[in-house]
Structure 1
Amino acid sequence: MSPSKLETTLSSAALATGESEPLLPATAAAAAASRPPFTYTLRPATLADVPSMASLAACAYLSSSFSDFLSPGRFAYISEHAYGYTQRVRYRMLSPRCVSIIAVSSSGLPVGYAQFVRHGEDAAAKEVHRNGNTWAFQLKRAWLYARFAWDYITFTDRSMDQKALKVMMAHGDMWKGEQPNRWHAQSVVVSPGHQRRGIGKALMRGMMERAGSEGVPLGLEASPDGELLYTKLGFELKRRFEIDFEGLGKEIEEDRGGLMIYYPPGCERE
């Protein structure tokens, strides 16, 4: 989907929640509390779901401190900012070890998604790789590489602060040398208008159970707001983010959020 079309999708996603613009967390909580219960289903996400997943992420993170830090120009270049999420969702799908799940309401509206990847070289990790590395996957990956090549030539995300991006990239793998055999939540997103209805927990619990069946932990990087949810689910904080913001002239909430991990019962701690 082109950036201009995605901008329309982003606006439609916000309107679908009954709001003229993405909701702030406090507003979302009040809105969710005043609405009747609804039903939704979880299913594997496909390439056709990527625009909806990107729109959900763009709406959910629009007012976050992380977006303030990394994408200060997002309001001036909203379509480019949103398309950046499309690229990130697609990029994760390049791995045969990636599991993408989407939550869809009974009316067919996407209301959340999660993407996970299996790290490690234990027997279960190798089986995940074998099962995911099908001919259909190879065809999908070839299309993704071709699309990335096209985007590299034609697309520039002017919403992003390149200095901030370099700081993030220089930080490298925050999990290097820790828990090499694990499932990892790359992204967990719920529509602002549908938060606090158990969708985030449902997206996580399935993978928590799978990690337990394989005897490995489940790790993630939690935002300040996300840390509260993951703590309730049984995750432990390993450490706070360690990013050097000196010289950028920016502030980001550092007293919460960080690397978190869930150890299923009987899982060996490394």
Structure 2
Amino acid sequence: MPPSAHLVLPAQPADTPKVYDIYFLAFAGSALPRLLFPSAYPTASDTVPTAEFRESHTAHTLAWLASPASGFQYTFKAVDVASGEVVGMGLWDIHLTERTEEEWKWKGVEWLAGKERERAEELLGEMVRKKEGFFGGKRHVYCHVVAVHPEYQKRGIGRKLMQWGIEVGEQAGLPVYLESSVEGEGLYRSLGFEEVGRVRHRGELVGEAEDVEVPLMVRMPKSLEIGWEEWCKQ
């Protein structure tokens, strides 16, 4: 077997700026970062966040990672073996124990206010409510995001980043859940995910001519030997 061109490794705190370089590059054409971080894009023509925003975002991310409250969250980086450069990232929540309603209940987009908060919560709200309805405080694995540098896409890096969380789900006997993009749906299906619902985003909200549907997907561990519907009844 030849050496791999790309490796998936745990991201260290010092990797935070580079990891989120990948995130913002990969989602440069998406409404998601603009709605969640409107101050990062002062004008409609901006495609990358301002340096001031990135500095603040890095500081807040590092503070979160240093807090006990982040103990369930894991960040990974995909590294180009030849250059050592970070070319992909993944963010996962691993809930190995049940949580109280106070711990799992969504508190909204607390860093925004007014119309900006309303628009961000319209984007996220139905997805969060669906997830809370499925899982509540039950044990599971959640993939927040997998992102690959635009110049390195279509090389199997996203698949490698997904394999880590899938393996955790298999070993722990837990479902792995995510909200898919239209572009990523084929990859997730090839990895054993099935659709368990959809959420519709207004076209105006996400900058599209028509409404956009978001597939909600889950992968049941083969080690558990039961399906999604049976698991939900437990």
TM-score between the two structures when normalised by the length of structure 1: 0.61
Aligned twin of 1:188: 146
Report sequence identity in percent. 26
Flag the 1:39–1:89 CA change in 2: closer, same or farther, 3 A. Answer: farther
Matches within 5 A, 1:127-142: none
1-side partners of 2:59 and 2:215: how far apart?
Answer: 24
Q: Does 1:57 align with 2:13?
A: no
For residues 253 and 89 of structure 1, do their structure 2 counterparts lie closer, same or farther at Cα, with a shift above 3 Å needed? farther
Q: How many residues align?
A: 199
**For residues 196 and 139 of structure 2, what CA distance do their matches in structure 1 show?**
16
Name the CA shift for 1:249/1:212 in 2 (closer, same or farther; >3 Å).
closer
Distance 1:74 1:246 in 2: 17
Residues in 1 aligned to 2:140 and 2:21: alpha-carbon distance in whole angstroms: 28
Task: Report how far residue 100 of structure 1 moved.
Answer: 1.4
Q: Which residue of 2 aligns with 1:176?
A: 132
CA contact (8 A) 2:195 2:218 kept: yes
Q: Is the 8 A contact 2:35 2:120 kept in 1?
A: no
Give 5+ residue unaligned stretches, structure 1. Answer: 1-36, 126-151
User: Superposition pairs for residues 206-217 of structure 1, below 5 Å?
Assistant: 206-217=164-175
Deviation at 1:249, TM superposition (A): 9.3
* Aligned counterparts of 2:44 and 2:62: Cα–Cα separation in 1: 20
Taking structure 2 as the reference length, the TM-score comes to 0.70
- Which has the bigger relative contact order, CA under 8 A and spacing at least 6? 1
- Corresponding residue SS for 1:56: helix
Structure with greater helix percent: 1
Q: How does 1:1-270 map to 2 (within 5 A)?
A: 39-67=5-33, 71=38, 73=43, 75-76=45-46, 78-79=49-50, 82=54, 86=58, 90=62, 93=65, 94=67, 95-106=70-81, 107-119=83-95, 121=97, 161-168=116-123, 170-171=125-126, 172-179=128-135, 180-243=138-201, 245=202, 251=208, 254-267=211-224, 268=226, 269-270=231-232
Q: 1:173 to 1:208 in 2, by over 3 A?
A: same
More displaced stretch, 42-51 vs 256-265: 256-265
Q: Is the 8 A contact 1:238 1:261 kept in 2?
A: yes
- Unpaired segments ≥5 residues, structure 2: 100-110
Aligned CA-pair RMSD: 3.4
Residues 31, 206 of structure 2: 8 Å contact kept: no
Tell me which protein shows more strand as a share of its residues.
Answer: 2
